[in-house]
């Protein structure tokens, strides 16, 4: 069994992808494998706690894996960007779960006055 608190994880900022967002990777497959937990979470790439400051946004980006977000606190918009650059905006708020499909670009925008806090995890055994 492994128990970790996000506060003990190193914060990561990737401005070219996540813009103003900050992620704390609580678990990653690489870490679990190094601890001889290779049989655990075979389809999980990472599990992270993330924050997006008021009026901040992630850069539009996509992945070759699915991501799932669970919104803990705050509200904003997640923009889905299709291959033909047609966008679809979804309002998000605490309690919402978002799934981003493989390859679809997306962007989280905090248009509110409080920090958005969310859990993000990657469904990709290659991560």
Task: Give the tens place of pLDDT for each residue, 71-99.
Answer: 999 999 999 998 888 999 999 999 998 98
Strand 75-81 and strand 105-109: pairing?
antiparallel
Between 19 and 41, where is the model more confident? 19
Residues contacting residue 3 through CB under 8 Å, at least 6 positions apart: none
- Whether residue 31 is contained in a domain is answered as yes
Both tokens of 118, joined, read 């969310």
What's the domain count of the chain? 1
- Whether residue 5 is contained in a domain is answered as no
- Whether residue 53 is contained in a domain is answered as yes
H or E stretch at 75: strand 75-81
Q: What is the dihedral of CA 18, 22, 26, 29, to 10 degrees?
A: 20
- Which CATH number belongs to the domain containing residue 52 in this structure? 2.60.120.10
- Whether residue 2 is contained in a domain is answered as no
Strand order in the sheet with 21-28: 11-12, 21-28, 44-52, 116-123, 66-73, 97-100
Predicted structure pTM score: 0.76
Predicted confidence at residue 1, as pLDDT, reads: 46
Between 66 and 116, where is the model more confident? 116
């Amino acid at each position: 069994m492994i128990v970790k608190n996000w506060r003990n994880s190193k914060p990561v900022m990737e401005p070219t992808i996540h813009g103003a967002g900050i992620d704390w990777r609580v678990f990653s497959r690489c870490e679990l494998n190094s601890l001889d937990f290779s049989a655990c979470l075979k389809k999980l790439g990472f599990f992270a706690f993330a924050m997006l400051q008021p009026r901040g946004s992630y850069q539009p980006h996509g992945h070759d894996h699915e991501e799932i977000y669970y919104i803990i606190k705050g509200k904003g918009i997640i923009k889905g960007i299709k291959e033909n650059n047609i966008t679809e905006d979804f309002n998000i708020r605490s309690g919402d779960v978002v799934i981003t499909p493989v390859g679809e670009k997306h962007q989280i925008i905090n248009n509110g006055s409080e920090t958005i806090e969310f859990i993000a995890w990657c469904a990709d055994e290659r991560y």
